[in-house]
Chain A
C-alpha cells in the first residue's frame, strides 16, 4: 500500500495506491491520518489506484474523516474503481463521506 500527498491551492490532496485490506490498512493508516488531520485542511482523497476496499479500509476512512471534521475540515473521495465504488455504495459510506467522480468535482465539493 502506498500513499503520497501534496496540496492543490488550500486543499490537501492524498493519493492512495494498492489494497485497503487488513494488511494495507496496517501499513498506511497512521501515515494517512498524519497527512490529513493535524493541519485541518479540506482534503480530497484519490481512490483511482485503490484496487480493493473492505471494512478495515472503511473504518480508516470514517475515523480519519471524523478526526478531520473535529478540526473543521472536510474530506471528499474521488476516482473509485468499479469494485471499490460498489463497496462504498453498498456500505452507504457516501451518506457521510462524499464521493466525487473526478478530481475537479471533488475540489468543487470541498470548496
Chain B
C-alpha cells in the first residue's frame, strides 16, 4: 500500500487486531516494516518576521524519487491571516486509535504559535489538502489559554494541544482539548495542574497511564527573542512533569536545575511496553533520560552532556543548543540537532541509559565546513528533524523560531530557510548528507519563507503513540 494512505488494513496483524480498520498501525514495527517509502512531506512554511512578510502556509514537498518534481515544493496551502507563526502540528487520529473503526488519519490540526489561531486542514487527498475550519484566537482565549504547540490525538475521540500561556501570554498555560469529530473546543484537558509552572511539548504512554510534559517559558518571555537576562531571572524552564493520564492530574515534577535548562522535545520509546524516554535540554545542551522506577516514582539522569565551543566571533563559548530530537521506530537510534553548532548527531540507544555516538553530519552553522548544498548557502543549521518510517532517511529544516532566527541567523529573514536530507544506514550505524536533495524555501511561491516541522501522510516517528 502507498505510504500516503490515511488508513491501514490491520486484519492480518495478529489476535488483537482482527477485522479492524483504524487510522494507524498495530505496532511500531508494523509501521516501520509494512509502510512504503514516504512520497510526500507536509512542512510548516512561515513568513512571520520575514523581510517581505506574507502569509504562512502548509507546504507540500514531493519526496517521490521517481517523480519529475522530486525534492520540490509542489503546493502551498496559505493561511487566511498573517502573523500565525505555524510551528508544530498533528493529526486528528493516529495509531493510538488503531481499534477505532471508521476513524481515519485525515485532518491536520495546524496551530499558529503567535496568533493562537488553530487551522483544520483536510488531507484526505495527500497531494491536495484543503482548509476546512479555522478556530479563531478569541475562542481559545476564552479558556484563558494561548500559544498552542504540540498536537496529539488521544484515545476516546479527543485531540489535546499543549498551550504555553494564558490569555495574556503569561504563565502557566495548560492543555486545550478539542473534539475529534467537529473540532469544537471542549475546554481544558487537565483536571489538576498541580506543580506545572510552564508548558511546552508532551508525550504519553497510555499502557502505563502516564504523560510527560516539558517547559519552555511564558510566551511573553520567549516570543520577543532570547534574552540572557531572562535566563538569569529564572524565566526559562528547567523541569518536566509527570501526569496521571487517566485522572489528568499532575503527579510529579522532575527538576533538572542547571543540568536541564529549557527542556524542549519529549520523546518516549515507541514500544508501548517501555516506561522511559528522552528530553533535549536546549540551553544546557544535555540529553536527559527519564524513567519509571520499580516503586512507580519517576527519576532522571543526564545521558549525553555536550560541551560549548569557543568561536572567534562570539564573546562567550557557544552552546550547541539541542532544539529537536527523535527516536527511530525501532527505538534503536536517537537523532538530535545542535542548532547553534550546525550538526545532526546519531546515537545508538540500544542500551537506553548509555547512548553511544555513532555518526554526525555537519551542515551550516558557525562551525561546519559545509556551508552550501547545490550552490545554495545553508541559511540556519539543522533543527526540526523527521525520520522515514524505515529509519533510512533523515530530513531536517533549518529555522527555529522567527524571533530567535532573527537574532542568530538573520539571513533567514531575507532569503528563507532550507530542507535537507541525509541517507541513514542503520545496519552500519552511519549517515551521509544526500547532496541531491534540497528544498530552498527562499524560492517558495509568494516569497521566501522559514521551514519548520515536517510530517508524512500516514504517520511518522513523532506523531504516533501505541496503546
A and B associate: no
